[in-house]
Structure 1
Amino acid sequence: MTTHDPEVAISPDADSSLARARTAGWAYAEGFVPEDEVLLRARERAAELGCHAVLPGAGALLRVLAASLAARAVVEVGTGTGVAALWLLRGMPADGVLTTIDAELEHLRAAKRAFAEEGLAPSRTRAIPGRPRDVLPRLTDGAYDMVLVGADPHAYPDHVTEALRLLRPGGVLAVDGALHGGRVADPARRDEVTTLVRELGRSLRADERVVPALVPAGDGLLLAVRR
């Protein structure tokens, strides 16, 4: 079967009206599931602290994935102020536990505030302070239904390697920011982060252990199901 490299084969659409329609469609999809006050406050804290927050369309998709898996054990790399965590927890069963990791204590405090506003029992979340590269190796092999990787694109390759170890068969890996502001789809972009994220997608596409897809929700979600 013949394959091609989408980063090379796909060029910008010359039809400006179609391009505008695609942009409008993306904006419509991003607002399709509105964020409530708890999510909006968590997002405002992320802006104040200058940390990453998953966009609404990606958050809604994460909730759907967690619900479809009935995910009771989820790992999040990069807590931020809890925006993605709230989306995930809303899709998980009532007895599901989210393990979330962040090196910044201020981020974790903000996330815990969001969890309290959500009315979550303390047993629903396990917030671990520390660098993910130090924490992830301590987690159990094959014990998790879903792993979300976000926050630091420079560390994505290492975090994804650990995530694949943690996932059970049928578990889902999600990498946020997989389009990196649209740069990944532009073959002329060769900066360090764009190249790294692009290569990560290619490596997962070639990895026989997973079934991958790239979804243009939020800033792009790179998804892979563990065989």
Structure 2
Amino acid sequence: MTQEQWTAVDRYFTDLLVPPDPALDAALQTSAAAGLPPHNVSPNQGKLLLLLAQIQRARTILEIGTLGGYSTIWLARALPSDGRLITLEADPKHAEVARANIAGLSDIVDLRLGQALSTLPQIAAEGNSPFDLIFIDADKPNNPHYLAWALKLSRRGSLIIADNVVRNGAVIDQSSSDPSVLGVRRFNELLASEPRVSATAIQTVGSKGYDGFAIAIVTTDQ
């Protein structure tokens, strides 16, 4: 199996199951033109996030890591008209691009600029929680802290999803000194030892390479 084949299969499913969409396509094009890193989820993964949010019947979503707003659009589209999504972005340039990309969803999406670890306490203080679904896709060294906040801002039945937990297989390298790998490993260990959640992880291959998602459901009231 090669990256070329993974990408071809991804393209096959995208062409079959994820029809072209002007807003989503424009978000990718605008992000690329602005020089944002290509760290957005793939179209298939975006559709998966939408389906998970719909299965969850989510009315409130928290996204940690906006980038250009591509995954934000997918998640926001799963919400009812009176739903809300708060998305957090630390980089002003990324936030500027994302605001343009999600302009049509401004009645549902609230983009907060700033370091997430500073913004999350503000969200808690405002009484915005609990959230039905929390998507973690930001700087990986802070994943353990994001998990702690996700638990604080959730309820029994809340869904917590984290992207990039495989790191091209580096997650099993116990000797790694890579801060992102260390953050993901610690995040996974915390999930495993956390009595308030039931969790698993899936490996993914495709146009974004070899990685994976962690998925956890909160099983007790906080």
Place the TM-score, normalised by the shorter chain, in its bin: 0.7 to 0.9
* Structure 1 residue 96: Cα displacement: 1.2
Gaps of 5+ in 1: 1-18
* Structure 1 residue 54: Cα displacement: 1.8
Q: Is the 8 A contact 1:74 1:98 kept in 2?
A: yes
List per-residue Cα deviations over 1:167-188 (Å, max 9, x = no partner). 111001111111123322x547
Give 1:10's aligned residue: none
Give 2:99's aligned residue: 112
Q: Is the 8 A contact 1:62 1:88 kept in 2?
A: yes
* Structure 1 residue 222: Cα displacement: 0.9
Q: 1:183 to 1:55 in 2, by over 3 A?
A: farther
Give 2:22's aligned residue: 37
Give 1:201's aligned residue: 188
* Structure 1 residue 84: Cα displacement: 0.8
Q: Is the 8 A contact 2:203 2:212 kept in 1?
A: yes
Q: Is the 8 A contact 1:78 1:150 kept in 2?
A: yes
Q: Is the 8 A contact 1:172 1:226 kept in 2?
A: yes
Alignment of 1:175 onto 2:175: no
Alignment of 1:221 onto 2:213: yes
Aligned ranges for residues 8-27 of structure 1 at < 5 Å? Answer: 19=1, 23=6, 27=10
List per-residue Cα deviations over 1:39-95 (Å, max 9, x = no partner). 122123333333331222321211111111221111111111101101101222222
Query: TM-score, length-normalised on structure 2?
Result: 0.81
List per-residue Cα deviations over 1:171-225 (Å, max 9, x = no partner). 01111111123322x5477232223312321220221110101123463111111
Aligned ranges for residues 64-143 of structure 1 at < 5 Å? Answer: 64-116=51-103, 119-120=104-105, 122-140=106-124, 142-143=129-130
Give the Cα–Cα distance (whole angstroms) in 1 for the partners of residues 8 and 36 of structure 2: 28
Q: 1:26 to 1:163 in 2, by over 3 A?
A: farther
State the identity as a percent.
28
Give the Cα–Cα distance (whole angstroms) in 1 for the partners of residues 53 and 167 of structure 2: 23
Aligned ranges for residues 140-179 of structure 1 at < 5 Å? Answer: 140=124, 142-179=129-166
Give the Cα–Cα distance (whole angstroms) in 1 for the partners of residues 166 and 190 of structure 2: 15
Give the Cα–Cα distance (whole angstroms) in 1 for the partners of residues 154 and 67 of structure 2: 22
Q: Is the 8 A contact 1:30 1:56 kept in 2?
A: no
The total of aligned residue pairs comes to 205
Q: Secondary structure at the match of 1:144?
A: coil
Query: TM-score, length-normalised on structure 1?
Result: 0.79
Q: Match of 2:176, as an amino acid?
A: R
Give the Cα–Cα distance (whole angstroms) in 1 for the partners of residues 94 and 20 of structure 2: 20
Give 1:16's aligned residue: none
Q: Match of 2:56, as an amino acid?
A: L
* Structure 1 residue 99: Cα displacement: 0.4
Gaps of 5+ in 2: none
